[in-house]
Structure 1
């Protein structure tokens, strides 16, 4: 019996982990479909509909540290299996949520899904960075995240046709009796059952593969149990790259959620398009731009330092947010599609730059950066508050504009720290190789 080629083992492991990136990207990008769907079903304001994002991203805050401890105790693979189990359970909870037709139950189901995603992301992101040569870690993570970006394209297109059913208009609903209105809304609420049942079945199939799969072990210095638990959080936060990455990731995820989650509402207000047409713009437009940005960024990082590229992309995104606030028609949609392109590399690049050379603090640093995803629960509320207060949803783009400026600050800080290191290794200087 011949021993399996280590390269082939690494490649298959990379493929399987990448499938997780696609699946959590897919379910996350059904949220922009759920927001207008639930907003209509429960007559919500923009701020109230933002609770969909809050339910999802609060889970990241609650579960990130327990996920890190789980990795520490059980290892990356067992943690991923636990994450997949929670993911499938949350998807199945959409069936009773639709049957009871209670908004809080939908939020609960989303919270359980997000708990599973937190565990998956806390394990999969650092595992990908460690699955190969360290100098290629940022490119490797961006490549895996590119398939997350592919889900950004496909989820809104599929979700709009399966969830945004052609129901009664708001005016028609107001004219109905209470019993007739309730029957119509119940039928619309039931449209989520099929898609989320299918997601649960796919996740259970992936979990079965992971149960029998033997993932390659990473270097001993980076194993999650290599550092004692006591004081691990403060020790990780004493590392400036991790501390700054936590801040930057908080604001970046908030920006991404604002841009994607409110796109369908934004497109209707700024460009006057229907919800299904807006979902197509979200998928084919923003989703394709996001994927293209990821692949383009991965290629450009061969020639441009990741931090320098991140700085340029963050400033471009901030400028396009200003355009989105004050333009109308197709120009407004083009601006938001442009934001999707430029923000595409931000999550994996911030993550990789944050935990680079973290050694025994890699697992806890990963947990803290994943914990910062709670920004996706906070910043959409600011977006909704600004939109409701000004009676103009476009002005809500002031929130992501601020976020991208924080990401630019992070990138600039990384570049400043890199300058002394570059000077130390320049010709004529003494350096350790």
Structure 2
């Protein structure tokens, strides 16, 4: 078919062809998960950095996440249509190329010391990552037994978390430490330009990956291997309650995770918590994202024998308890409570994603675009928490992610059950 599209029957037949081909493809895809985790987590470094450089309040600083995750809302549906037309592999190459351009735009943004240009660069970068997400997530779900799709997505997402664990060290050393020297020298230009070299390096890496993926021989598979009860009929996606509720779950999960990560450096800088300077606090972000990495490896094993919905509900309750502890506590208790939330965030995104796609057959590709659209929660929820922080205080603002985790508990225990309304 045009654009390399295959039928559901062909996709299912190809699943059994060559386990070796799928192991190679999954290995290659883990590099992508690592890179977009790395790039996304660098925002947690950019927020305190640009907040200081441009003297922003919390709401203004959260425009970084608003522009970055707003790209998911703007680009997801066009990206889904593009991937349907050109195939997963070309979608991956295109996503890498666009992300590389976004990284290059940091150079003029820093040169002109213009906050709006930084926001524009982040939007372009995120547009490329959105195309990667729309291409890679359903592709991973397709490469193997549909009954273990949650486990497989969780395992590849663990490498996403490896990227988010490494990024704070990279950003802390190359961005915040360099900016601190500029601050000591009272040189605003040096502070702003501390991002130029790191993002040029990232642009080069993304460009190389785009070339590599354009030459790889990956399985041609453009439909998710799963239930095919919809093969002969077209059912409205909006009638699938588990998908619609799952999209809301993606919205609140990404919003909660991004909100917490975005404000960790500032939270650890509070005198009532740890009183850390920014470059040192950046290193502790690695515990938050590192916990997510460890939790995903654990979750990939646990969910082979325990219902994914039950694991999701348990993790949501644990996250609520830890965030409440961070709000009510102080010192080391508050610090480690908020950092441990990452451990329980671990399985949430891939689990919600795969539960929402269950039973959708050939419509799973289109549904993936809808779920990626919901990642706009990462744009809106942090903005809300920033406004609460400006008006009520930073610590109390963490009630916003508590509300998000409460919904995730509901989805895991009840909302994920597949049914047509």
Contact kept in structure 2, 1:383 and 1:399, CA below 8 Å = yes
The residue aligned with 1:98 is 110
Cα RMSD, aligned residues only: 2.2
The residue aligned with 1:85 is 97
Alignment of 1:16-415 (within 5 A): 16-165=28-177, 167=179, 184-218=187-221, 235-269=236-270, 270-283=273-286, 285-390=287-392, 392-414=393-415
TM-score when scaled to structure 2? 0.90
Contact kept in structure 2, 1:253 and 1:373, CA below 8 Å = yes
Would the alpha carbon gap of residues 384 and 6 (structure 1) be closer, same or farther in structure 2, given more than 3 Å must change?
A: same
Q: Deviations over 1:158-191 (max 9, x none)?
A: 1111000355699x88xxxxxx95xx11111111
The residue aligned with 1:425 is none
Would the alpha carbon gap of residues 147 and 244 (structure 1) be closer, same or farther in structure 2, given more than 3 Å must change?
A: same
Displaced runs of 4+ in structure 1, greater than 6 A?
A: none
- The Cα of 1:271 is off from its aligned counterpart by 1.6
Contact kept in structure 1, 2:106 and 2:196, CA below 8 Å = yes
Q: Deviations over 1:277-317 (max 9, x none)?
A: 2111111x212211111111111112211110000000110
Would the alpha carbon gap of residues 197 and 219 (structure 1) be closer, same or farther in structure 2, given more than 3 Å must change?
A: closer
The more displaced of 393-402 and 297-306 is 297-306
Matched position secondary structure for 1:217: coil
Query: 1:219 and 1:287 mapped to 2: Cα distance?
Result: 31
Matched position secondary structure for 1:164: helix
The residue aligned with 1:429 is none
Would the alpha carbon gap of residues 123 and 220 (structure 1) be closer, same or farther in structure 2, given more than 3 Å must change?
A: closer
Would the alpha carbon gap of residues 289 and 222 (structure 1) be closer, same or farther in structure 2, given more than 3 Å must change?
A: closer
Contact kept in structure 2, 1:249 and 1:350, CA below 8 Å = yes
- The Cα of 1:128 is off from its aligned counterpart by 0.2
Q: Deviations over 1:101-148 (max 9, x none)?
A: 100000000000000011100110011000011111110000000000
TM-score when scaled to structure 1? 0.88
Query: 1:169 and 1:417 mapped to 2: Cα distance?
Result: 55
Contact kept in structure 1, 2:245 and 2:415, CA below 8 Å = no
Contact kept in structure 2, 1:308 and 1:415, CA below 8 Å = no
Contact kept in structure 1, 2:259 and 2:401, CA below 8 Å = yes
Matched position secondary structure for 1:262: helix
Matched position secondary structure for 2:194: helix
The residue aligned with 1:421 is none
Q: Deviations over 1:347-402 (max 9, x none)?
A: 00000000112112101110000000000010001111111111x21111011000
Would the alpha carbon gap of residues 366 and 416 (structure 1) be closer, same or farther in structure 2, given more than 3 Å must change?
A: closer
Query: 2:412 and 2:310 mapped to 1: Cα distance?
Result: 7
- The Cα of 1:18 is off from its aligned counterpart by 1.1
Number of aligned positions between the proteins: 397
The more displaced of 36-45 and 333-342 is 333-342
The residue aligned with 2:6 is none
Matched position secondary structure for 1:375: helix
Contact kept in structure 2, 1:222 and 1:363, CA below 8 Å = no
Higher CA-based Rg = 1
Alignment of 1:7-18 (within 5 A): 7-18=19-30
Would the alpha carbon gap of residues 71 and 396 (structure 1) be closer, same or farther in structure 2, given more than 3 Å must change?
A: same
Structure 2: 5+ residue stretches without partners: 1-16
Q: Deviations over 1:218-240 (max 9, x none)?
A: 376769xxx99xx98x8222211
Would the alpha carbon gap of residues 28 and 105 (structure 1) be closer, same or farther in structure 2, given more than 3 Å must change?
A: same
